[in-house]
């Protein structure tokens, strides 16, 4: 049992970290959220969205930002607290009382482990759901207003197959157009080309129709029954209505598609297991193709092998997934199962009526006895000479090898994402292990040390994380090593730092 003095010091150290951790998390999250707002606010406002939808976009962006900034906040808090403790000679007083530096760092690592557990649950349960809703909402927003996605100097399809618009310059803020050309193919008998020097777009209050006000232009109309006849009309102002452009925001209710960043660990493990089964099936097909090619070379009939039947395993993969399913069964009530209707009762057979028995049918006589070894249609008989061109081993196995590689790449992509969730959560403990010895060793750096060291560690860590993810997706590096290598390197640096300041007098 720990001594009362040591327990008091542990509680004191943990309390010192609460306020800096909360402040650093709020500050870093706010800065990154402001960056997101600055990049997306203009485009969202230009689409005429209600403020509730714009606010929902930024709220759904917060879980991803928190997943990134939480390990950062741990490092900033550890650097700040230990810098002040060493600067105020509190660490020296603890060492004089017989409390080692390792004993001082230990409760901080324990608190960082608790934060890492919360970070892992956040990344696995909250972040995928918010990413899925955010992607669905962004797709709905992109479908809302065609005019905002119009490109300059390009023929844009406003109404599919009927209405096309080209403009030399488009101002998305004021909806003004310059040097406009419109191709109206809505009438099956007449084709119109409308040109104007300038124009402006507006929408009906319901958002379903588009109004165009064109100035200083002409209309060229051609009758398809008489292509030699051309009607040309000049105008100063021409107002047009384009119906059914779908400017209202239609929310998607059920979107079953999910990318790897929209899945939990248990869902991704199921996809990985399915990809591995596909790779094994492709490998069996390759062996069967090679075997049949060798049999053709020997003059034997190929052997048909039915595809292996794989039973769908709904059991969760891994200890964490099994424990999570067990917890969910406790929290969520079981769905009511539909009752199977019972068959109607049989009517009793009247007395004296014999039971119905099937009449036996005699087999049809066969004129010739069956062959001992039948040959499938289109295949040579056994013992027949096979020309060398009948070997298709290379062509048959090339496609199967591509199937195997594609399955392994798919599994590797999801395994990398799984390991990333674990690695980012574990970074909370790793950053605490790195920050404590640096702050104790160079406590005179003050705020400059906190900011400079934080930026350096963040940059190195996330560059390594992004590079490792790229290598893991390409099957260059195993998924575990690609995501955990930055953690392992910083863990070694932290352990070396703790070893160097373990003696009294070095933590200054």
Query: Which comes out higher in pLDDT, residue 155 or 340?
Result: 155
CB 461 within 8 A of CB 68: no
CB atoms within 10 A of CB 11: 11
Kindly report the pTM of this predicted structure.
0.69
Find where tokens 């909360």 sit.
Answer: 22
User: Is the predicted pLDDT of residue 367 greater than 50, yes or no?
Assistant: no
Taking CB atoms within 8 Å and a gap of at least 24, the contacts of 17-23 are 17/77, 17/78, 17/81, 17/108, 17/111, 20/76, 20/77, 20/80, 20/81, 21/73, 21/74, 21/77, 21/115
- Report which of 209, 294, 290 is spatially closest to residue 246, judged by C-alpha positions: 209
pLDDT of residue 59: 94
pLDDT of residue 5: 62
Q: Which of 231-245, 274-288, 407-421 has the highest mean pLDDT?
A: 407-421
Distance CA 402, CA 282 (A): 9
Strand partners, 163: 159, 184
pLDDT of residue 376: 46
CA 10 to chain centre: 40
Distance CA 325, CA 398 (A): 41
User: Is the predicted pLDDT of residue 207 greater than 80, yes or no?
Assistant: no
Q: How do strand 176-184 and strand 163-171 relate by DSSP bridges? A: antiparallel
Distance CA 285, CA 400 (A): 7
Q: Which helix (H) or strand (E) holds 472?
A: helix 446-473
User: Is the predicted pLDDT of residue 463 greater than 90, yes or no?
Assistant: yes
pLDDT of residue 208: 67
User: Is the predicted pLDDT of residue 50 greater than 60, yes or no?
Assistant: yes
**Cα dihedral: 314, 259, 49, 253 (round 10):** -20
Written as six digits, the tokens of 352 are: 């004296």
- Report which of 64, 73, 14 is spatially closest to residue 428, judged by C-alpha positions: 73
Least confident of 118-122, 288-292, 403-407: 288-292
What backbone torsions phi and psi does residue 298 show, to the nearest 5 degrees? -85, 0
Q: Could you write out the DSSP letters of every residue in 140-180?
A: HHHTT-GGGG--TTS-EEEETTTEEEEEEEEETTTTEEEEE
CB 167 within 8 A of CB 196: no
User: Is the predicted pLDDT of residue 356 greater than 70, yes or no?
Assistant: no
CA 484 to chain centre: 20
Averaged pLDDT for residues 277-286: 85
Least confident of 138-147, 369-378, 428-437, 441-450: 369-378
Taking CB atoms within 8 Å and a gap of at least 24, the contacts of 324-329 are 324/266, 325/266
Written as six digits, the tokens of 194 are: 């409308």
Written as six digits, the tokens of 2 are: 């720990």
195 DSSP 8-state letter? E
pLDDT of residue 4: 61
C-alpha count within 13 angstroms, C-beta hemisphere, residue 508: 11
Buried b / exposed e along 100-131 (16+ C-beta atoms within 10 A): ebeebbebbbebbeebbeebbebbbeebbebb
262 DSSP 8-state letter? G
CB atoms within 10 A of CB 393: 16
Helix (H, G, I), strand (E, B) or coil at 218: strand
């Amino acid at each position: 049992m720990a001594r009362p003095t040591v327990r008091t010091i542990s509680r004191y150290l943990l309390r010192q970290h609460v306020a800096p951790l909360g402040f650093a998390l709020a500050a870093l999250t706010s800065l990154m959220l402001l960056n997101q707002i600055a990049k997306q606010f203009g485009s969202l406002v230009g689409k005429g969205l209600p403020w509730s939808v714009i606010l929902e976009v930024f709220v759904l962006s917060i879980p991803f930002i928190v997943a990134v900034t939480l390990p950062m906040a741990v490092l900033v808090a550890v650097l700040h607290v230990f810098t002040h403790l060493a600067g105020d000679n509190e660490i020296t007083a603890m060492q004089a009382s017989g409390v080692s530096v390792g004993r001082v760092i230990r409760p901080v690592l324990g608190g960082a482990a608790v934060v890492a557990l919360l970070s892992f649950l956040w990344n696995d349960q909250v972040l995928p759901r918010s990413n899925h809703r955010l992607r669905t909402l962004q797709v709905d927003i992109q479908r809302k207003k065609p005019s905002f996605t119009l490109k300059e100097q390009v023929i844009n399809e406003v109404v599919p197959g009927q209405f096309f618009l080209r403009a030399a310059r488009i101002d998305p803020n004021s909806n003004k157009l310059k040097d406009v050309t419109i191709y109206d193919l809505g009438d099956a008998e007449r084709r119109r080309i409308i040109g104007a020097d300038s124009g402006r777009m507006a929408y009906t209050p319901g958002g379903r129709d588009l109004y165009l006000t064109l100035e200083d232009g002409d209309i060229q109309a051609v009758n398809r029954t008489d292509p030699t006849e051309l009607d040309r009309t000049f105008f100063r102002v021409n107002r047009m209505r384009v119906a059914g452009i779908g400017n209202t925001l239609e929310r998607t209710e059920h979107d079953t598609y999910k990318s790897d960043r929209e899945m939990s660990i248990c869902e991704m493990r199921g996809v990985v297991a399915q990809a591995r089964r596909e790779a094994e099936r492709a490998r069996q097909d390759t062996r069967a193709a090679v075997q049949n090619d060798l049999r053709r070379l020997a003059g034997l009939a190929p052997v048909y092998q039915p595809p292996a039947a794989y039973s769908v395993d709904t059991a969760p993969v891994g200890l964490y997934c099994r424990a999570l399913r067990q917890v969910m069964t406790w929290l969520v009530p079981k769905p009511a199962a539909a009752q199977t209707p019972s068959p109607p009762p049989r009517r009793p057979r009247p007395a004296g009526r014999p039971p119905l028995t099937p009449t036996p049918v005699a087999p049809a006589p066969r004129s010739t006895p069956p062959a001992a070894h039948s040959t499938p249609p289109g295949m040579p008989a056994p013992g027949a000479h096979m020309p060398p061109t009948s070997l298709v081993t290379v062509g048959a196995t090339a496609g199967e090898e591509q199937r195997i590689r594609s399955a392994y790449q798919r599994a590797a992509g999801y395994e990398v994402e799984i390991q990333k969730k674990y690695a980012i959560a574990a970074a909370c403990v790793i950053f605490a292990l790195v920050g404590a010895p640096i702050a104790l060793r160079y406590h005179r750096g003050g705020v400059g040390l906190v900011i400079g060291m934080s930026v350096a560690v963040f940059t190195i860590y996330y560059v390594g994380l992004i590079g490792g993810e790229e290598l893991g997706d390409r099957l260059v590096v195993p998924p575990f090593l690609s995501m955990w290598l930055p953690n392992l390197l910083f863990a070694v640096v932290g352990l070396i730092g703790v070893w160097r300041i373990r003696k009294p007098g070095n933590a200054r």
